[in-house]
Structure 1
Amino acid sequence: MTVQVKMYSTGVCPYCIMAERLLQSKGVDQIEKVRIDLDPQQRELMMQQTGRRTVPQIYIGEHHVGGFDDLTVLDRSGKLDELLHPA
């Protein structure tokens, strides 16, 4: 069983697409996508929660992973699988 994954994104973000593909390759079949380009209030909420303005901003469970670069660092270190599939 995988944990809930939430991703703040926009409709034209290539890094969002790459993050989604990486997560899918790890067995994630459900990603809650929050389109901040369609809802300015969600953009404000994302910025308050993360302190960042860029997308994607990814949460795995309650853990704020960060953006695509942060996600790939976790993957290379082997820690992404631990977050997605806790024992």
Structure 2
Amino acid sequence: MKPTKDDHAVVDLLDVLLRDGAIIQADVVITVADIPLVGLSLRAAIAGMTTMTDYGYFEEWDELQRKLAEAPDDHPLLPGKG
């Protein structure tokens, strides 16, 4: 099988990530001279906002952003307010 050049690979990857999402999980240990100093447990969810809210992530944040977009002058956390 001969490799082919696919100019749309990045677009297809972004489409899948935004539509379906992905979870990336990694455990990292930082060492110096074979002495473990720091341990990290990382987890990232990557998806479009529609997918995130469908799975229950960022629902409150999304709702707040939509309200701010409709009436930004009404929010007390904006500069010059509350």
TM over 0.5: no
Task: Give the structure-2-normalised TM-score.
Answer: 0.24
Normalized per residue, the structure richer in helix is 1
Which structure's CA Rg is the greater one? 2
Higher relative contact order (CA 8 A, sep 6+): 1
